Amino acid sequence: MTAALEIDDLWVEAGDPDDPLVLVRGVSLTVAAASVVGLVGESGSGKTVTCMASLGLAGRGVRITGGSVRAQGIELVGADERTLMRVRGGVVGTVFQDPLSSLNPLQRIGDQIAEAVMLHHGGRRRSHHARVVELLAKVGVPAPEQRARAYPHELSGGLRQRVAIAMALANDPALLVADEPTTALDVTVQAQVLDVIRSATRDEARSALIVTHDLGLVAEVADRVAVMYAGQIVEEGPVASVFQDPQHPYTRGLLASRPVLAAGRRRLGAMVGRPPLPGSWPAGCAFAPRCPVATGACGEAPPIRTSDQGWSRCWHPGSGETTATSRAEEGAA
Amino acid sequence: MSPVIALEGLAKGYDIAGGARLTAVDDVSLTIAAGETYALVGESGCGKSTLARMAAMLTAPDAGQVSWSGQTVSQQRRSAVRAVRDHTQFVFQDPAAALSPRLTVEEAVSEPLRIRRRTGSRSVADLLDDVGLDRSMGRRYPRELSGGQRQRVVIARALALEPKLLVLDEPVASLDVSVQAQVLNLLADLQAEHGLAYLLIAHDLAVVSSVADRIGVMYLGQIVEEGPAGDVVTTPRHPYTQMLIASVPAFVPGERGERPRVVGDPASPTERRTGCAFATRCAFATQVCLDVAPPRRELGDVAVRCHHAS
Ligand SMILES: Nc1ncnc2c1ncn2[C@@H]1O[C@H](COP(=O)(O)OP(=O)(O)OP(=O)(O)O)[C@@H](O)[C@H]1O
Ligand SMILES: Nc1ncnc2c1ncn2[C@@H]1O[C@H](COP(=O)(O)OP(=O)(O)OP(=O)(O)O)[C@@H](O)[C@H]1O
Ligand code: SF4
Ligand SMILES: [Mg+2]
Ligand SMILES: [Mg+2]
């Protein structure tokens, strides 16, 4: 069966071609048919650039320099704008970090959704009214008939994101690409948007690539998870095994820095430092300067180690203890 | 301690398409002291941002009063309103929209001072240091920054005017966990250093519980439960607060999709209603809940608007 999305050794850079700024280096990621993949990682790791470039939406000055991206078997790297337009909003529905960026502030939301449907199905705006109301109801917008006539600024953030999801689903795409779909929503709405995403994927055999910083969301909706750091994927595998037994120290740090619900003001366990900027990625393992278990070996590019049904990119993969042992051994050697 | 800001009986409504009237904020009172973090939580559209805009005097209330350092601020006195606006700075949930694409980081951070022809006590380089940004980022444009980097720029810019109150409207919602932790710790440090009052609007109760002194839970324009943060998260009294607490993902590996389902949607804010606004979703609702709006009641340190809370 054709994978919904196959990214193979994708390289993306920006700036002067003679002195480029590399943003994404050799990302490979597969979203199998009817499966949901979560892409997580710190701010600036290249998650959005990976998604946007894959869909031919890289901004000005950003270009793909290598690799291939296939959506439902259709090659997107080097494809003409007509092909890309047909894929986006047709085969692939997109929901971005900022719902306002996909909504026109001057147009009623119902008309905007109708136009998304028209783009691929033709017909008149009015003839799609029933579909518009159906889509709004599907994503849980209360009083959909009435809300269809609202302008984006009249809606709160949570409703706007549901409208953005309704637009993404307008043409029943095989793959949903969502960049931070629940970010900035309150918990009950998150729980409901999660239900919307779950029913739009699992229940309708639709695939999804979900970019998020919310590990809770990944735990609940994704089958597999890919962890990104400094333009590379550092760990990939089934959600259950990655969360229970993270192989990469960065994955362990991410899992440990989640705040918990408890009484009393307190400092949060932040990972030290901040992720390096593109252009100043350390040689070898880019995580080494922040890594609690780094050794001299980490100055060299780490090998890919496969484990279970996943893989990681680390000299000292495995549990913290094993790694501490290997460090002690290295120190003794 | 005298409060930095006190809101009393604030209300705001909007006329919307179709001739209906929407109640955004309905009779809200609260105070925030210097160095204190007051967190507002509640579902999308319940009126949190509208309330914050009224506190900053960017939106005029239909009813109620705003006081700063014990003095009621008249909406009519332009100079007083302008002073309040300078004392209040915002950090929004969407840093992309808050920054002009045409200004570099340096220009954005110094912009508020430039507009008011003032010199701040801290240089742009200091401000960037304060928020943990590399000085070399000063010459970049917002599009060259990631979300987390942009939010730090917004915080640095907010600090330039040395405000007394920071309204943090979902300040870390778009950030990943490790940066979230750093920004929240940063905000706590800045608060301790400058005695800032924070009005924090956030949906993530796990985050809120770790940074707030007080929590106000809002539902359809009203504060339905308010009290010390520890009390609200450990012994929620209002059925709505209980539902919010239950929605926090337990995040036990392997326990996927096991969280309790959230029941229903909020009633439309345009609906005329008698009784408790939450009654349509409440598992404990009785006839009195449908007929009579629950008054604010004190239960120890906590105030609740619910007939049956105890
Ligand atoms: N046009 C550009 N020119 C130069 N650098 C860029 C450009 N666009 C993005 N970058 C840089 O590329 C890196 C990756 O950005 P990207 O937006 O993909 O991060 P992200 O992983 O999505 O982060 P976040 O979680 O904050 O959204 C960032 O460091 C950003 O500053
Ligand atoms: N200018 C306006 N015209 C009409 N309705 C408005 C306007 N501004 C806000 N509203 C409505 O007022 C209510 C409260 O909005 P507000 O933005 O304060 O909610 P919120 O709690 O901040 O929501 P969110 O968490 O989504 O940001 C909503 O129903 C919103 O649609
Ligand atoms: S007043 Fe009644 S309906 Fe409202 S929250 Fe309390 S029990 Fe539920
Ligand atoms: Mg992003
Ligand atoms: Mg708001």
* pLDDT for A332: 41
Residue of the nearest CA to atom 5 in ligand 2?
A154
Q: Which of residues 203-222 of A touch B (CB under 8 A)?
A: 213, 215-217, 219-221
d(CA A214, CA A220): 10
Q: Which residue of A has its CA nearest to B170?
A: A184
B126 in a structural domain? yes
pLDDT (tens digit per residue) in B199-228: 999 878 888 999 999 999 999 999 999 999
B13 in a structural domain? yes
Q: Ligand 5 centre and the CA of B49: distance in Å?
A: 4
Which residues in chain B have their CB less than 8 angstroms from residue A154's CB? 16-17
**Residues with CB in 5 Å of ion ligand 5:** B 49
* pLDDT for B254: 45
CB contact under 8 A, B257 and A243: no
Q: Ligand 5 centre and the CA of A193: distance in Å?
A: 17
pLDDT (tens digit per residue) in B295-305: 999 999 999 99
d(CA A54, CA A292): 33
Q: Would you call A99 an interface residue with chain B, using a CB distance cutoff of 8 Å? A: no
Residue of the nearest CA to atom 22 in ligand 1?
A48
The answer on pLDDT for A221 being more than 80 is: yes
Highest averaged pLDDT of the listed ranges A109-123, B162-176, B226-240: B226-240
* pLDDT for B156: 92
B304 in a structural domain? no
* Atom of ligand 2 at shortest range from CA of B15: 4
d(CA B126, CA B122): 6
- pTM flag (> 0.90): no
B248 in a structural domain? no
CB contact under 8 A, A42 and B248: no
Which residues in chain A have their CB less than 8 angstroms from residue B134's CB? 277
* Atom of ligand 2 at shortest range from CA of B203: 25
The answer on pLDDT for A220 being more than 60 is: yes
Structure tokens at A323: 């790694």
* pLDDT for A254: 86
* pLDDT for B39: 97
Q: Ligand 1 centre and the CA of A71: distance in Å?
A: 23
Q: What is the mean pLDDT of residues A142-160?
A: 87
Whether the CB-CB separation of A111 and A101 falls below 8 Å is answered with no
B266 in a structural domain? no
The answer on pLDDT for A333 being more than 50 is: no
Which residues in chain A have their CB less than 8 angstroms from residue B224's CB? none
B258 in a structural domain? no
Q: What is the mean pLDDT of residues A169-180?
A: 92
d(CA B171, CA B186): 12
B154 in a structural domain? yes
Residue of the nearest CA to atom 4 in ligand 1?
B144
The answer on pLDDT for A184 being more than 70 is: no
* Candidate from A154, A183, A219 with C-beta closest to B253: A219
Phi, psi of B66 (to 5 degrees): -115, 130
Residue of the nearest CA to atom 16 in ligand 1?
A46
Mean pLDDT of chain B: 87
**B17: domain range?**
5-229
* pLDDT for A106: 92
The answer on pLDDT for A328 being more than 70 is: no
Q: CATH no. for residue B163?
A: 3.40.50.300
Mean pLDDT of chain A: 87
CB atoms within 10 A of CB B303: 18
* Atom of ligand 2 at shortest range from CA of B48: 21
Counted domains in chain B: 1
* pLDDT for B249: 67
B173 lines ligand 2 (CB under 6 A): no
CB contact under 8 A, B265 and A140: yes
Share of chain A above pLDDT 70, in %: 93
Share of chain A above pLDDT 90, in %: 55
Interface test with B, best of A39, A50, A151, A186 (most B CBs within 10 A): A186
For chain A, domains (ranges, CATH) are: 5-91+173-331 (3.40.50.300)
B199 in a structural domain? yes
d(CA A170, CA A90): 8
* pLDDT for A195: 78
Which helix (H) or strand (E) covers residue A189, if one does?
helix A187-201
d(CA A308, CA A242): 10
Q: What is the mean pLDDT of residues A105-114?
A: 94
* pLDDT for A324: 42
Any residues with Cβ below 6 Å from ligand 3, and which? B 238-239, 276, 278-279, 282, 284-285, 289, 294, 306-308
pLDDT (tens digit per residue) in B148-177: 788 889 999 998 988 999 999 988 876 767
Confidence band, pLDDT 50/70/90 cuts, at residue B261: low
Q: What is the mean pLDDT of residues B113-130?
A: 82
Which residues in chain B have their CB less than 8 angstroms from residue A220's CB? 249, 256-257, 259
CB contact under 8 A, B179 and A154: no
* pLDDT for A327: 42
**Torsion angle defined by CA atoms of residues A132, A138, A139 and A143, in that order, rounded to the nearest 10 degrees:** 70
**Torsion angle defined by CA atoms of residues A243, A244, A245 and A249, in that order, rounded to the nearest 10 degrees:** 40
Which residues in chain A have their CB less than 8 angstroms from residue B175's CB? 43, 213
- Residue B260 to chain A, least CA–CA distance (Å): 9
CB atoms within 10 A of CB A101: 11
Phi, psi of B224 (to 5 degrees): -95, -20
* pLDDT for A186: 67
Pairing of strands B37-41, B214-219: parallel
d(CA A157, CA A135): 18
* pLDDT for A132: 95
The answer on pLDDT for A267 being more than 60 is: yes
Q: For chain B, how many residues are written? A: 310
Q: Would you call A134 an interface residue with chain B, using a CB distance cutoff of 8 Å? A: no
Confidence band, pLDDT 50/70/90 cuts, at residue A211: very high
Give me the interface pTM, i.e. the ipTM.
0.82
Structure tokens at B164: 């007394």
Closest among A242, A245, A255 to A213, alpha carbons compared: A255
Q: What is the mean pLDDT of residues B222-240?
A: 95
